[in-house]
């Protein structure tokens, strides 16, 4: 029972859901999601286990830093006392084996990809590589693990080779993710500063970090807009999402309050997820053979929901902060 609870604590489902969105989008760009339902389920669960594997080993490596940055977070069982180091080691071993086993049930290519993901998780958190302490490498390595592996795993499910369009989609999503993940340093800077973790934010400052994030968003967003060039209305919807995130980056850059910074980052992240879900809905319907009007209608409805929430968050910042932290 204790191990099961630790699995749930370490899942941190919001991030795990993002990995699954990249996987599903990759599949939906090539085939109907109902073509390989069992393989998709296996891949989603495998990704969830691989993420638990990553968080368990990372929590062990960063225990001192997390004690400052996440002292009251239920998602850090090593800090709250719900688990000890050996418990997390056990979770790591079990989650790793489960992730690999499930991937092997899909095909050998999936097994290799998940194996690479596990190796990246270890190299990111532990010496001698410990990429989390490499200022420039850290966000790009995470991009490979969080975008590259799920996207390529989707190709493994549909048994497709990587084509030019896949490279473009990957680069667009990758650049946007790197621009997004660099902002997590704002939440962790107190503990990072105390233990001299050379994050991009601490080394180069807030302005440079916001510029870096903006560059990732603009470059990645530009690539995705190019990929959508034959879908006029979808280009407009995507552009609106990108503008909304840019606006939150602007708010972040001029904010002098930690809570307001987290609001800007959190709402921007939600809109990024909204874009992924909108694209997933559109391409899923296209692969299912629905008409273009139906595809755009559903994409528009999904977008409307996210933009209504966006407006609510801006008018009621306290509610938005609670929602993001929850």
Please give the Cα distance from 135 to 115 (Å, whole number).
25
Pick from 246, 98, 88, 233: which is nearest to 180 by CA? 246
Q: Is the model's pLDDT at 260 over the cut of 90? A: no
Please give the Cα distance from 115 to 96 (Å, whole number).
9
Alpha helices in 77-199 (DSSP H): 77-80, 85-104, 108-125, 137-143, 149-158, 164-181, 185-194
> Residue 72: which pLDDT band, with cuts at 50, 70 and 90?
confident
Mean pLDDT computed over every residue of the chain: 93
136: enclosing H helix or E strand: none
Query: In percent, how much of the chain has pLDDT > 70?
Result: 97
Please give the Cα distance from 35 to 8 (Å, whole number).
30
How confident is the model over 215-222, as a mean pLDDT? Answer: 97
Q: What is the tens place of the pLDDT at every residue in 119-139?
A: 999 999 999 999 999 999 999
Q: What is the tens place of the pLDDT at every residue in 263-275?
A: 899 999 999 999 9
Please give the Cα distance from 23 to 40 (Å, whole number).
8
How confident is the model over 159-188, as a mean pLDDT? Answer: 95
Query: In percent, how much of the chain has pLDDT > 90?
Result: 81
Q: Which two tokens stand for residue 45?
A: 């669960």
Q: Is the model's pLDDT at 208 over the cut of 80? A: yes
- Per-residue pLDDT at 324: 41
> Residue 44: which pLDDT band, with cuts at 50, 70 and 90?
very high
12: left (phi over 0), alpha (psi -120 to 50) or beta: left
Please give the Cα distance from 295 to 108 (Å, whole number).
34
How confident is the model over 44-56, as a mean pLDDT? Answer: 97
> Residue 27: which pLDDT band, with cuts at 50, 70 and 90?
very high
First to last CA, the chain: 23
> Residue 250: which pLDDT band, with cuts at 50, 70 and 90?
very high
- Per-residue pLDDT at 160: 87
Q: State the sign of the Cα–Cα–Cα–Cα dihedral 155, 54, 145, 217.
A: positive
> Residue 318: which pLDDT band, with cuts at 50, 70 and 90?
low
Q: Which residues contact 247 (CB under 8 A, 6 or more apart)?
A: none
Q: Is the model's pLDDT at 294 over the cut of 80? A: yes
């Amino acid at each position: 029972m204790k191990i099961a609870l630790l699995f749930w604590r370490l899942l941190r489902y919001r991030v795990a859901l993002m990995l699954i969105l990249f996987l599903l989008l990759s599949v939906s760009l090539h085939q109907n999601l109902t073509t390989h339902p069992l393989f998709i389920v296996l891949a989603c669960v495998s990704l969830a286990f691989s993420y638990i594997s990553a968080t368990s080993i990372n929590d062990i490596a960063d225990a001192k830093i997390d004690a400052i940055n996440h002292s009251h977070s239920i998602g850090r069982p090593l800090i709250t006392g719900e688990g000890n180091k050996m418990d997390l080691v056990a979770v790591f071993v079990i989650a790793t084996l489960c992730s690999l086993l499930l991937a092997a049930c899909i095909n050998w290519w999936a097994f290799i990809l998940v194996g690479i993901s596990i190796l990246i998780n270890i190299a990111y958190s532990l010496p001698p590589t410990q990429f989390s302490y490499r200022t420039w490498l850290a966000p790009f390595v995470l991009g490979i693990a969080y975008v590259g592996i799920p996207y390529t795993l989707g190709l493994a499910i549909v048994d497709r080779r990587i084509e030019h369009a896949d490279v473009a989609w990957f680069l667009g999503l990758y650049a946007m993710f790197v621009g997004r993940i660099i902002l997590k340093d704002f939440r962790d800077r107190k503990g990072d500063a105390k233990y001299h973790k050379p994050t991009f934010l601490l080394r180069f400052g807030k302005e440079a970090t916001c510029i870096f994030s903006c560059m990732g968003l603009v470059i990645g967003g530009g690539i995705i807009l190019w990929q959508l060039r034959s879908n006029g209305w979808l280009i407009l919807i995507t552009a609106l999402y990108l503008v909304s995130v840019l606006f939150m980056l602007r708010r972040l850059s001029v904010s002098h309050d930690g809570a307001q910074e987290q609001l800007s980052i959190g709402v921007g992240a939600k809109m990024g997820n909204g874009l992924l879900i909108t694209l997933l809905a559109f391409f899923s319907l296209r692969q299912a053979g629905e008409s273009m009007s139906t595809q755009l209608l559903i994409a528009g409805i999904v977008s409307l929901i996210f933009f209504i929430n966006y407006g609510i968050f801006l008018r009621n910042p306290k509610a938005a902060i609670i929602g993001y932290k929850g």
